[in-house]
Amino acid sequence: MKKSVMLFLLTAVLLLAAGCGQTKYEPAAINESVDKCEVCNMQIKDDAFATQIIEKNNKGHKFDDLGDLFAWKKKNGTEQIGAQYVRDYNSKKWIPLEDATFVYDKTIRTPMAYGVISFEQKKDAEAFIKKEGKGQLMTGKELDSHKWEMNKDMMNMHGADGHKDAGHGASPAASMTPQGTHK
């Protein structure tokens, strides 16, 4: 009896200790009327391209394009990052960057023309590539060594409405729906 009580207490102490010091970082909702990208200062749409970094002190940083998140990391380093979140391209669900699968193609329209989109499931990224006939599958680790360049031609393209479209304020892509199909 005494051994089982001691074993129970020891187990309880270990479980409590295991939970101490672990901070759970949660992505914040996007408020389109006030949220601006930390890098380019453009309005952040509540869409499939929004990304976030949450520092260990719980300070949040929001971005309108995954490329801007990586520009912020290059400038500020990664030591204080507690979590990074991206959106699933199809569902807009927040997912940890390290758990996502990415598709890159310089012709994929993103707000700042970096051409990288994220998926919660690898099979969805593969389906996007198969359907569109283009794209390179990437992991979160591979993004660290990716050459982050804006597609300048894409930045200067005209949107379907005839206005210059740098990706902001338009649908997720002027020529594609959020599911990656052409209009």
Q: Measured between alpha carbons, how far is 183 from 175 in angstroms, rounded to an integer? A: 6
Average pLDDT, the chain: 82
Please report, as a single letter, which amino acid is at residue 65. D
83-111 pLDDT per residue, tens: 999 999 999 999 999 999 999 999 999 99
- Averaged pLDDT for residues 23-28: 90
What is the per-residue pLDDT for 160?
34
62: DSSP letter: E
What is the per-residue pLDDT for 40?
95
pLDDT band at 21; cut points 50, 70, 90: low
With a cut of 80, say whether residue 4 has pLDDT above it: no
What is the per-residue pLDDT for 156?
72
147-166 pLDDT per residue, tens: 999 998 887 763 433 333 33
- Do 86 and 93 form a contact (C-beta atoms < 8 A)? no
With a cut of 50, say whether residue 50 has pLDDT above it: yes
Q: Which residue has the tokens 């050459």?
A: 147
Q: Measured between alpha carbons, how far is 59 from 53 in angstroms, rounded to an integer? A: 8
pLDDT band at 167; cut points 50, 70, 90: very low
pLDDT band at 1; cut points 50, 70, 90: low
Alpha-helical segments (H) within 77-151: 122-132, 140-144
What is the per-residue pLDDT for 155?
77
What is the per-residue pLDDT for 153?
86
- Bigger pLDDT: 40 or 175? 40
